[in-house]
């Protein structure tokens, strides 16, 4: 019986067909396809020409059994579908990751995890080594998903960190300096009663941005007062509620630094409901410089964090770790920039 020249039922050319056309053995074709050594330039050229002529595409499933590679990475976001759709930050991260992976053979899998059942399903998925590495954003302290990723031993890179002692590789923005610059700008405008709306207390970024707020006030000789600090969860609704609470506690507030653009949008709505003019009565600064900041009324001053570049840097770091296992722990901190518009 002759060699099988195409997969039964699909009509796709096989490894044997390439070998036959190139006049070499099946093993030689396999080494060329998988980037192996020990192939002469003449044989490699013949195989590559045969592949091009036949339109041969390697069977990725069979290849993964030989190489122990899944040819896929997971981007894990421990949030709900609603949160994913409402926050521009996630879209920027996804664009950055996808852009960095576009010239590779790796498939990007987006995985949302917000329930115990989803975490259990993810555990089985990762334990089965169905991906070669993991990216994760929206990291919370004591996050069971991050702990699960750490336990698998898979190459992993976080967007942000759980604490200063983060053992996994991570990429983050300079949250401290970004917040400090925002509040320093408000103080420089002559504002004396500067409030802040922070993010979730179990997120490192929230705490660091709050610290930047405190430092800027202290350097300006202003007192940090508990009644000028309100907490949100990075959502628009939480920003509106927090701003209303701030106005009730301290009607003399003349500026507010919000730890996300969406919370700033909510704060601006609460200020309008309270008949406070922006920026004449209360100046507003957000954080992210997402597209929403350019479309508020008035346009919002915001701290730009390079979210898309963060996604690209995360993917680059992960690709390097997959290619060279056992590399030392690495962290990348990206610069932020205050973008001044009419709201402050």
pLDDT at 65 over 50: no
The whole-number pLDDT of residue 63 equals 53
* Selected residue with higher pLDDT from 142 and 312: 312
The whole-number pLDDT of residue 8 equals 47
The whole-number pLDDT of residue 322 equals 86
The whole-number pLDDT of residue 151 equals 86
Mean pLDDT of all residues in 151-178:
91
**DSSP β-ladder status, 156-159 and 337-339:** unpaired
Q: Which residue has the tokens 């004396």?
A: 192
At 164, the pLDDT band (50, 70, 90 cuts) reads: confident
Determine which of 41-50, 175-184, 202-211, 273-282 has the lowest per-residue pLDDT on average: 41-50
Q: Fold match between 15-67 and 175-304?
A: no
15-67 homologous superfamily: lambda repressor-like DNA-binding domains (1.10.260.40)
The whole-number pLDDT of residue 14 equals 80
The whole-number pLDDT of residue 5 equals 54
* Selected residue with higher pLDDT from 157 and 8: 157
Cβ within 8 Å of residue 186, ≥6 positions away: 194, 255, 257, 283, 285, 344
Q: What percent of the chain has pLDDT over 90?
A: 57
The residue among 244, 297, 296, 290 whose CA lies nearest residue 267 is 244
Q: What CATH architecture does domain 72-173+308-335 belong to? A: 3-Layer(aba) Sandwich (3.40)
Question: What's the CA gap between 181 and 190, in Å, rounded?
Answer: 15
The whole-number pLDDT of residue 129 equals 79
Question: What's the CA gap between 173 and 260, in Å, rounded?
Answer: 13
The whole-number pLDDT of residue 35 equals 65
pLDDT at 237 over 90: yes
Determine which of 18-22, 127-131, 252-256 has the lowest per-residue pLDDT on average: 127-131
Q: Where are the domains of the chain?
A: 15-67, 72-173+308-335, 175-304
Burial of 342 (0-12, 13-18, 19+ CB in 10 A): middle
Work out the mean pLDDT of the chain and round it to a whole number. Answer: 88
Q: What is the pLDDT of residues 86-126, one digit of tens each?
A: 888 899 999 999 999 988 888 999 999 988 898 888 888 88
- Continuous segment of H or E residues that includes residue 159: strand 156-159
Rounded to two decimals, the pTM is: 0.77
pLDDT at 149 over 90: no
pLDDT at 330 over 50: yes
The residue among 201, 134, 185, 136 whose CA lies nearest residue 301 is 185
Among the ranges 37-46, 148-157, 196-205, which has the highest mean pLDDT value?
196-205
Q: Which fold has domain 175-304?
A: Rossmann fold (3.40.50)
Buried b (16+ CB within 10 A) or exposed e, 107-126: ebeebbbbeeeeeeebbeeb
């Amino acid at each position: 019986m002759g060699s099988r020249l195409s997969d039964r039922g699909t009509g796709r050319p096989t490894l044997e067909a390439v070998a036959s056309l190139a006049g070499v053995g099946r093993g030689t074709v396999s080494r060329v396809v998988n980037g192996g050594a020990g192939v002469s330039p003449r044989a490699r050229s013949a195989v590559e020409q045969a592949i091009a002529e036949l339109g041969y595409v390697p069977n990725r499933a069979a290849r993964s059994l030989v190489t122990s590679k899944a040819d896929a990475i997971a981007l894990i976001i421990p949030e709900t579908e609603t949160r994913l759709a409402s926050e521009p930050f996630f879209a920027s991260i996804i664009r950055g990751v996808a852009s960095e992976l576009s010239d590779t053979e790796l498939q990007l899998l987006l995985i949302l995890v917000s329930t115990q059942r989803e975490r259990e399903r993810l555990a089985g998925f990762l334990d089965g080594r169905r991906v070669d590495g993991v990216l994760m954003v929206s990291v919370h302290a004591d996050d069971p998903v991050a702990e699960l990723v750490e336990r698998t031993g898979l190459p992993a890179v976080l967007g942000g960190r759980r604490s200063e002692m983060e053992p996994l590789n991570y990429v983050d923005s300079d949250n401290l300096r970004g917040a400090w610059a925002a509040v320093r700008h408000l103080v420089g405008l002559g504002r004396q009663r500067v409030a802040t709306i922070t993010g979730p207390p179990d997120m490192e970024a929230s705490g660091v941005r709050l610290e930047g707020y405190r430092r800027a006030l202290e350097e300006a000789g202003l007192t940090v007062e508990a009644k000028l600090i309100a907490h949100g969860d990075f959502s628009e609704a939480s920003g509106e509620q927090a701003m209303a609470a701030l106005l009730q506690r301290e009607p003399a507030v003349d500026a507010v630094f919000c730890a996300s653009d969406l919370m700033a949008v909510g704060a601006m709505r609460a200020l309008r409901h309270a008949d406070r003019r922006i920026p004449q009565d209360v100046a507003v600064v957000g954080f992210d410089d997402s597209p929403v900041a350019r479309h508020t009324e008035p346009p919002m001053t915001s701290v730009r964090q390079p979210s898309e570049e963060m996604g690209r840097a995360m993917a680059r770091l992960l690709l390097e770790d997959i290619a060279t296992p056992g590399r030392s722990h690495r962290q990348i901190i990206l610069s932020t920039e205050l973008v001044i518009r009419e709201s402050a």
